[in-house]
Amino acid sequence: MSWSLNAWSINPRAEDALSALGRALHIATRFEDKCKYLLRSANLASAYESSGSPTVDLDDLLAQVPKDLRLLGRTIEGLGKIGPMSAEDAEILKEAKNARNWIAHESASIVIHDLPGPVFREAIEGKTHYDLGALVTRLEETRQQLRLLTRGENLVSRWCFYMEEGGKEPAPSDLIERYASMVEHWVFAPVSDLLPMGQPS
């Protein structure tokens, strides 16, 4: 495997794709952050309830909260243990976790450079080409993973909203309904001419 950056020019469409993939990574990171936030909050509430004291010291409570939230899979397992979760929600979170991992570890594994032509003579003459078809295929794969991720991110965002508002405010149903489409259009805006926007499934 050669160096990630080399003397060959970087194709502009690869630059556009990396902008899109960076946006997808933002959604993936926010999903993970929200899962950890929910679990920490639930563990803190559980520690408070089990203390039996309305004046328990915050540092004592924090000392009881598990610290190991490095792995998203374990975090989601923890969410399943703190309260009732439907089989459908559990499946949504599982698929979102797998999609997050794919986006974080595989989506940006793309060729970015214009490379010597496939014919030896073209290579000698310095003619280069870029496999745009392979790039579009990777973007399509990312779109499918993003749709799974967004379902999970929309779910945990609702839970965060309910927790932060204490159930006093109705969830923004218009945002919830439009969220998948909003995310997809925002993520792939830099490559919208390469990846026609359809309705998220």
Concatenated DSSP letters of 146-163: HHHHHHHHHHHHHHHHHH
Mean pLDDT lowest for which of 128-132, 148-152, 194-198?
194-198
Of 117 and 160, the one with more pLDDT? 160
In the structure, what pLDDT confidence band is assigned to residue 92 with cuts at 50, 70 and 90?
Answer: very high
CA torsion angle for 156, 88, 105, 150 (degrees, to 10)? -50
Helix (H) or strand (E) holding 78: helix 72-82
Query: What are the φ and ψ backbone dihedral angles of 115, each rounded to 5 degrees?
Result: -115, 160
Rounded Cα–Cα distance for residues 130 and 9 (Å): 10
User: What's the domain count of the chain?
Assistant: 1
Q: 154 lies in which domain range?
A: 12-50+59-191
Which residue's entry shows tokens 């490095």?
70
Classify residue 169: in a domain, yes or no: yes
Position 130 pLDDT exceeds 60 = yes
Classify residue 7: in a domain, yes or no: no
Of 56 and 17, the one with more pLDDT? 17
Longest dimension (CA), the chain: 81
Classify residue 133: in a domain, yes or no: yes
| pTM (2 d.p.) | 0.83
Shortest CA distance to 79 belongs to which of 34, 47, 39, 32? 39
Classify residue 161: in a domain, yes or no: yes
Classify residue 68: in a domain, yes or no: yes
Helix (H) or strand (E) holding 128: strand 128-129
Q: Which residues in 11-20 are b (16+ Cβ under 10 Å) and which e?
A: bebbebbbeb
Rounded Cα–Cα distance for residues 143 and 158 (Å): 22
Classify residue 2: in a domain, yes or no: no
Q: How many residues does the chain have?
A: 201
CA torsion angle for 39, 41, 44, 49 (degrees, to 10)? -100
Query: What are the φ and ψ backbone dihedral angles of 78, each rounded to 5 degrees?
Result: -65, -40
Please tell me which of 46-55, 120-129, 140-149 the model is most confident about, judged by mean pLDDT.
Answer: 140-149
What's residue 170's pLDDT? 87
- Per-residue pLDDT tens over the stretch 98-124: 999 999 999 999 999 998 876 656 666
- Residue 10: count of CB within 10 angstroms of its CB: 14
Position 4 pLDDT exceeds 50 = yes
Of 128 and 24, the one with more pLDDT? 24
What's residue 193's pLDDT? 95
Position 201 pLDDT exceeds 60 = no
Compute the mean pLDDT over every residue in the chain, rounded to the nearest whole number.
84
Shortest CA distance to 179 belongs to which of 160, 157, 195, 196? 157
Classify residue 6: in a domain, yes or no: no
Classify residue 34: in a domain, yes or no: yes
Tokens encoding 156: 């945990």
